[in-house]
Every structure is written in structure tokens, then in C-alpha cells.
Structure 1
Amino acid sequence: MKKLILFSIVALISFKTSAQFGNTNQDVYDAQYNRVNDPATTVRYGIRAGLNAANITDDPTVVDANAGIGTEFGIFARIGQRFYVQPGVDFVNNSINIIRASQPRQGERDEVVVRFIRLPVLVGLQTQSQQFGRNRSFSRYRLSVGPSFAFGVGVSDNNLDVRRRNVTNAQFALNGGIGVDIWRFGVDVMYHHGLSNVFNDNTATGKYRNFSLALSLVL
């Protein structure tokens, strides 16, 4: 019995010492917590969801406009390490509260939500990851810019007679923002600078200006 107890104590000490000071890949990278941070991984996939605040620039077809709060969610792939490319697919709801120059009841304000399928392609730079807590978590910062193409797929019911046919089908924008990753989770603040007219009226000139805040999860 004494030999068994002594053997158990020695085995336990040896196991603990190996876990702390071993230099194998298993010791350094915990499969559960550090798979996302593995330097051999150059392609990562993720999902994202967030809120956006959209407004429209001066437009002769719009008497007044106030920013509205919309939603967006999608999927993305992040390809690369320090420098990366990030294509994605987003479903976006842009909300604005407007009074139009021509509408059924003059002076009435209503919310107009335009739904888009957006295809961004971002290029970015991210810092080296900072390790915390026995290699069980990490953080890093990102800077990204790039263009996006959005295709209008619908307009919410409203009292201003704005329909799908009144919105420009193809919407182009330039995007830029910053983000931070903590373990598998990310937070991004982005600015979306619209280059296309929101409405397809011949005299329309208004373009979207959006800010978004989104949370992401790397799978």
C-alpha cells in the first residue's frame, strides 16, 4: 500500500510538471482554446451579427431624413495571418425615417427599411495575438478596408409609397473599420460610405452613410 501511494504521488507530480514545462505541440496549444490561434491555420470561417445606423445624404426627392437603426448578419472567411483578405455575405436592413417630396400625404414621416444582400471584400492588417492565462485565450486588433456590392431584395411596408421599384438595385460602397478579437469572439466598428443613389428617380442624389457595430464568432 505504501508503495502504491508513493507511486501515485510521483506520477501526479510528474504529470503536473510535464503539463507546465513540456514543449510538445500538445502542451503549447490546447485544442479546445487555441485552435483559432494556431499559426498553421490560414483560413478561418465565422458568423457575425450586429446593428447599424443608416442615413442618407442630401436628396431633392427627400424633404427630411433621420437616421434609423437597422440590423445585419452574415458569414465570412478570413484568409491569411498578419495580412488577410475577408470576403463575406451579409443580409442587411437599412432603416431611415424620411419625408419625401412626393408621397400620398404631404408632410408625413415614416420609416423605410430597405433589405439588401451585401457582398463585401475586405483587406486587413492584424496584430500578433497576445496570450493570456496559460495559453487559454488571446486578443488581437484588426484594421480593414475594402469595397462592397449590395443588391436590393425588398422594402418594408410604409405610408410613403416607397416600393422595391423605387430603390436602386445595385448599391456600391467603400467600407473601413477597426476590430478586436478575444479568443473566438470579435467586435467590429465599421463605416460604410455609399457610392450609389439610394432611390432610382432621375433627380435623386442621396447616398447611404452607415455606421455598424457587430459581434462575430470564429467557428
Structure 2
Amino acid sequence: MKKIFLSLLLIAGTTLAASAQILPSFQFGLKAGANFSNLKDVSIKSETRTGVLGGVWARVGGAGVHFQPELYFISKGSDGTDGKFKFTTMDLPLLLGTRIGVGPIAARVQIGPVVSFVMDEEHSFIDNVGQVTQFDEYKKQTFALTGGIGVDISNLRADLRYEQGLSDVYDSSESDDNGRLKLWTLSVGYRLF
């Protein structure tokens, strides 16, 4: 009887351990950080601008692959000798990734699209002859691709990512290259559950 009971217990434990690797887990947390953005436009001399970000993230995954949507507010833009360009956006990255490691310490690699919704904008660029540059229309939504690495240590999360704009920030009759943002982000997060 003991042998049967121990065999059933061993089978049940093995089944639970295997299903824990297959069934998705769910995590949710907060994140904050800094970004370093630059506007790529041939008609404007721009330099990197430092901004901040803050929001929430969730992660659903199992068997080494996870899906991580995030939602945060972020300030981006460029500074230059000709003026400044600043956006506040609400960003929605939809990331696919993998976690490498066991237990409470692991590394991650993630990639995915980002949709940005413009909440506020400031701009004041002056062209080569001292005239304020007039842009025809600022877009209220832009798209980008982001990817990077991260580390999980217990409930703490840290991420380093690069983001490349896929769509123009504005339409301008003065330039064919209408401002695609590129930026680096460095963020830390905390897993609530």
C-alpha cells in the first residue's frame, strides 16, 4: 500500500511540475525610468533629449516564451541649436520574449511593436534663415519597433531597450524626412503579483 501511495504521489508531483512549465503564469507590476530620444529629420539639427517614463506592465507566459504588454506615459523629443521638440505620449508596447534562467534570477530578451498616442506636444524650431519652421500636421499616433534585454531579480525588473520609429511624427511640406524618433530606454520595475 505504501509503494502504491508513494508511486501515486511521485506521479502527481511530476505531473504538477510538468504542467507548471506548460501552463501560463501571470505577473503584473509598476515601472519607471529614463529615455534618451532623438528626432531624425534632415532639415533640423537635433541632439538627444532626456525624458522620463512611468506606468504598468503585465506578463503572461509559460514554457520559456512570454507576452508582455505595457502601458506608460513617456516624454520624448529632441533638443538642438535650432530649438526644441517635445512630446508626451502614452505608449503601448506589445512584446514577445523569452526568459533565460531558473528561480528568482533570470535574463530576458524581448522584441515587439509600440503604438504611441500623443497626449501633448511642444515645438519651436528655427530654420537656417531665422524663420520659425511651420509643420503642416502633427500626427496623433505613431508606430515603432522596440527590442532589448532585461533581468529579473526576485520581484525587481530592469530593462534596456532601443526603439526605432517606423512612422513619421509629423507631415511637413519642407522635408521628405518628416521626423522619426529613435530612443533608448532604461527602466526598473517592481512585480506586485
TM-score, normalised to structure 2, is 0.76
Deviation at 1:157, TM superposition (A): 6.9
TM superposition shift of 1:88: 1.4
Structure holding more strand per residue:
2
Question: Using a 3 Å threshold, how does the CA distance of structure 1 residues 162 and 143 change in structure 2: closer, same or farther?
Answer: farther
Query: Which structure 1 residue ranges, 4+ long, deviate > 4 Å from structure 2?
Result: 38-41, 157-166
Q: Distance in 1 between matches of 2:93 and 2:122?
A: 23
* Residues 28-177 of structure 1 aligned to structure 2 (within 5 Å): 42-60=25-43, 62=44, 64-81=45-62, 82-99=64-81, 109-130=82-103, 138-156=104-122, 166-177=137-148
Q: Is the 8 A contact 1:155 1:164 kept in 2?
A: no
- C-alpha distance in 1 between matches for 2:73 and 2:88: 7
Change (3 A) 1:141 1:112: same
Extract unaligned runs of 5+ from structure 2: 1-19, 127-131
Larger radius of gyration: 1
Whichever residue aligns with residue 94 of structure 1, its letter is K
> How many residue pairs get matched?
164
Aligned to 1:197, the other structure's residue is in SS state coil
Shift of residue 156, structure 1, vs aligned partner: 3.6
Superposed CA offset, 1:191-217 (max 9, x none): 001011122213351211100000011
- What are the superposed Cα offsets for residues 143-190 of structure 1, whole Å, 9 maximum, x if unpaired? 000001111111147576689984221110001000001110011000
Mark the CA change 1:157 to 1:59 in structure 2 (over 3 Å): closer, same or farther. closer
**When the two structures are superposed, what TM-score results if normalisation uses the length of structure 1?**
0.67
Change in Cα spacing, 1:59 to 1:120, as seen in structure 2 (3 Å) is: same
AA aligned opposite 1:150: S
Establish whether residue 213 from structure 1 lines up as the match of residue 186 from structure 2: yes
The DSSP-based 3-state class of the residue aligned with 1:196 is coil
The aligned amino acid for 1:72 is L
> What root-mean-square deviation, in Å, do the aligned CA atoms of Structure 1 and Structure 2 show?
2.4
C-alpha distance in 2 between matches for 1:90 and 1:204: 30
Q: Which runs of 5+ in 1 are unaligned?
A: 1-37, 100-108, 131-137
Q: Which residue of 1 aligns with 2:3?
A: none
Partner of 1:5: none
